[in-house]
Amino acid sequence: MSTNEIKILLNRLFPIHRCLAGSANRETLKIIGEYIPLSILEIPSGSKVYDWEVPNEWVINDAWIKNSKGIKIVDINRSNLHVVGHSIPVHQHLSFTDISKHLHYLPDMPDAIPWRTSYYQPQWGFCLSYNDFSKLFNHNETFEVMIDSEHKSGSMSIGEVLIPGKTTQEILLSTYICHPSMANDNVSGMVLLTFLAKFLLDKICYHSYRILFLPETIGAIAYCAMHEETIKKINTGLIISTVGGPGPFGYKQSWQSNHSINRIIEDVLHQNHEEFLTYPFDIHGSDERQFSSQAFRVNVSSITKDKYYEYKAYHTSQDNLDFVKPEYIAESFDIYKKVINMLDMDLTFRNTNPWCEVMLGKRGLYPNIGGAQVHRAVNSNTAYNSRDAMLWLLHFCDGSRSLFHISLDTGFPIRLLFDAAIELENQGVLQLCATSDNVS
């Protein structure tokens, strides 16, 4: 994957006026589907999903404000962010005082257009820069406002790819597709996950990967409601969001800070000599809120480059293609790839011969001449060797501890344990478990 390929997809997805449900989301998934074999789930409007209801599709045909001379001073054709997302239709003449109640701007960022939505309250509104508001809205004028929109029954679209691995031990990779025309939040997430899925499709994976493109919150809730047993069995996961800014790497911890996913991310960032920020788990954020909720308790983290909430351009028109660069997404992709390579090795095995010691010699896995070898004590400075790795694996692998935990207990690098485990598996001494419990 080259930065040019990233740029092409970034430029194609950026202009689309996405919302929670509608044709723009289907168009987004159609483009992503040109890269990876997406299955599309359409969930009918009005479906009850736990405490929520799937919204109607939002159709936005046109939106503008004209001044008393009939000149369009705000026009959706100049920016998708100009209209409050999910606005109801309106066509009225209003005084300055009345129209002001429907205008959103940021005095501390006078050039930026904020992004605002009203998903669940029937309202309408416009967003504009504070400079435009100050310059174009005269207190004595009357303004004509027009929003040509519809809320129609249809369906909410979710894109999914399931990449089967050698086991059904499953890792979730999810991003959201409901934001219009903002590059870091979250076209960068969609682009990175598309290329990550491509990478996994070309790789021989041990884990299975469940890859989701869904509207934030309501999409994740609906997916959980429809796949309850599947989500409960997921080992761990990553929400891919805000991965393309110029700022530092950061990662938001999963709900159990000592879970292997967090340790693996930290190891990878350290090995990459990256300065990074650590954000403890928080009840605010993205779809980790749903997957970590009481019924599911999946440990889901996020690696970010200019994390949502933290950068100034967040949820404004300044989160654009000048702010996000393909090179930054490529850097994040590299980190995600390394984390996934590590996660993929974190498998759970069971010793098929738990009755006393397995005879490695007859399988060609032990030196034929006894008495000469140096044994490596746990945490000693003696070099690691694969024979001791095998002995530790045979001691610990009982179907309840993943290689990551055995690595912590023994000090052996996970890669060495993984290679030894695969060799033992080839000899039939270890057996890959279908699933591991979610021990932290």
Q: Nearer to Zn ion by C-beta: 207 or 315?
A: 315
Question: 10 Å Cβ neighbour count for 143?
Answer: 22
Whole-number minimum distance, CB 17 to Zn ion, in Å?
Answer: 15
Nearest approach in angstroms of CB 179 to Zn ion is 5
Which residue's C-beta sits nearest to Zn ion?
185
Contact residues for Zn ion (CB under 5 A)? 185
Nearer to Zn ion, 217 or 431 (CB): 217
Least Cβ distance, residue 185 to Zn ion (angstroms)? 4
Question: Least Å distance between CB 342 and Zn ion?
Answer: 28
How many CB atoms neighbour CB 431 within 10 A? Answer: 14
Looking at the Cβ atoms of 170 and 185, the one nearer to Zn ion is: 185
CB of 182 to Zn ion, least distance (A): 7
User: In the bound complex, what is the minimum distance in angstroms from residue 178's beta carbon to Zn ion?
Assistant: 8
When the beta carbons of 117 and 262 are compared against Zn ion, the nearer one is: 117
Q: Which is nearer to Zn ion, 183 or 389 (CB)?
A: 183
Residue closer to Zn ion by CB (options 85, 165) is 85
